[in-house]
Amino acid sequence: MTATDVPTSSTPAVSARTAAHIEATERYAAHNYHPLPVVLAEGDGAWVVDVDGKRYLDCLAGYSALNFGHSNERLVAVAREQLGKLTLTSRAFFNDKLSGFAEALCRLTGKDMILPMNSGAEAVETAIKVSRKWGYEVKGVPAGQATIITMEGNFHGRTTTIVSFSDDEVATSGYAPFTTGFRGVKYGDIEAVASAIDETTVAVLFEPIQGEGGVVMPPEGFLRDLRALCTERNVLMVADEIQSGLARSGRTFACDHEDVVPDIYIMGKALGGGIYPVSAIAADREVMDVITPGSHGSTFGGNPLAAAIGTEVVAMLEEGTFQARSTEIGAQLEAGFGPLIGKGLSDVRVRGAWAGIDIDPSLMSGRQMSEALMARGILAKDTHGSTVRFAPPLVASDDDIAGLVTAVTEILTAARS
């Protein structure tokens, strides 16, 4: 089979019921995504069911928001109980769930304080604000001059400030003017980071693993070197663990792979168990004390429902079983995908239950691979042309992962024949 024989990315044939849902969504909802033509209605564990009753193995897991699987019994029970009691107070008042959540998340991160928000992008924005304020009030950077070092190929969200330091043209086109105060350097290049730091630098913002880029990891030792550099130069090390954290990489945080503790953790996605938007940053008191009443906030941040779910998520992570299962899945993915290098794949990157595969572009695009997998009952998502990411829920079985590997192998074999 040649590249021209592979099905195109035009919408595959779908049922009338599926087509009706897609047509209504496309008519009334803005086209800020390009979904695969499947309409999901139910989910349980690692599997989802569409409106026609067809089952699919979910190998995206809500971009790692569903680390604990769909409809996780423990999280659903906690959410149901809290829904019948109290869901929102605003931070104008205390609520009886936030204290326990804050204490639990501080225990998990080893930090003194947290600042709860909702979406991941809000948590990144919060980390940026805290870093700048710390730079002015603690480090002594002249007013209005704070700079933050960012990494090429990053993805931290889509707010105007965040896309200001993105190098993705699709994310930035048409949204200028952008927020200043950021300096981009090559991801994983410690010398480039060192050269970019000056007296105005307040933080280095980075992803321990770049998920949107296709599970891209920095060179071994980069995180340790970055920790040492930030300490030496009095710069905050700010780790965006929104996708990489909370057991996805096989450890509680991806930074744990090099025994590194950043000054600020940024968390989201799986912190809400795939049930509710929950995000937060965690830092020690010297950093977090720059936040004072009225200087930052969120109506829903730290609400009782979010806090109840987040507390249970921490309890599940403290047991260690999800981290262990992630490591097991990673070993299976690596053993399955590794032999495909040179046989349809040009590269494979695996860290825990997170894999990125680069497909030979002469065979097919990442979108075409995703569509071929969908036809076989597996849901995944492409990125950057010929790359596909896999992030199955950590409750996926060995048979589930074996089925994924078999499907990718068979699709590539057919394409090469």
Structure tokens at 372: 């071929």
Residue 12 pLDDT: 73
Amino acid type, 46: A
φ, ψ dihedrals at 138, nearest 5°: -110, -50
Amino acid type, 279: S
Domains 15-70+322-416 and 86-319 are alike in CATH topology = no
The model's pTM: 0.96
Q: How do the pLDDT tens digits run along the chain, 417 residues long? A: 333 333 344 557 899 999 999 999 999 999 999 999 999 999 999 999 999 999 999 999 999 999 999 999 999 999 999 999 999 999 999 999 999 999 999 999 999 999 999 999 999 999 999 999 999 999 999 999 999 999 999 999 999 999 999 999 999 999 999 999 999 999 999 999 999 999 999 999 999 999 999 999 999 999 999 999 999 999 999 999 999 999 999 999 999 999 999 999 999 999 999 999 999 999 999 999 999 999 999 999 999 999 999 999 999 999 999 999 999 999 999 999 999 999 999 999 999 999 999 999 999 999 999 999 999 999 999 998 999 999 999 999 999 999 999 999 999 999 999
Q: In sequence order, which residues have a C-beta less than 8 Å from that of residue 173 and are 6 or more positions away?
A: none
Catalytic residue among 225, 240, 382, 400: 240
Catalytic residue among 68, 101, 155, 253: 155
Is 269 labeled as catalytic in the residue annotation?
Answer: yes
Strand locations in 112-226 (E): 113-117, 147-151, 182-185, 201-206
Residue located via tokens 């950057």:
384
Q: Where are the domains of the chain?
A: 15-70+322-416, 86-319
- In 3D, which of 71, 134, 101 has the Cα closest to residue 271? 101
Q: Maximum CA pair distance of the chain? A: 65
Is 240 labeled as catalytic in the residue annotation?
Answer: yes
DSSP-derived secondary structure for 269-329: GGGGTTTS--EEEEE-HHHHTT--TTSS--SSTT-HHHHHHHHHHHHHHHT-HHHHHHHHH
Distance CA 41, CA 116 (A): 30
φ, ψ dihedrals at 115, nearest 5°: -130, 110
What is the fold, at CATH topology level, of the domain defined by 15-70+322-416?
Answer: Aspartate Aminotransferase, domain 1 (3.90.1150)
What is the fold, at CATH topology level, of the domain defined by 86-319?
Answer: Aspartate Aminotransferase; domain 2 (3.40.640)
Residue located via tokens 């800020």:
32
Catalytic residue among 111, 133, 269, 381: 269
CB atoms within 10 A of CB 164: 17
Is 222 labeled as catalytic in the residue annotation?
Answer: no
Residue located via tokens 């909702």:
118
CB atoms within 10 A of CB 411: 23
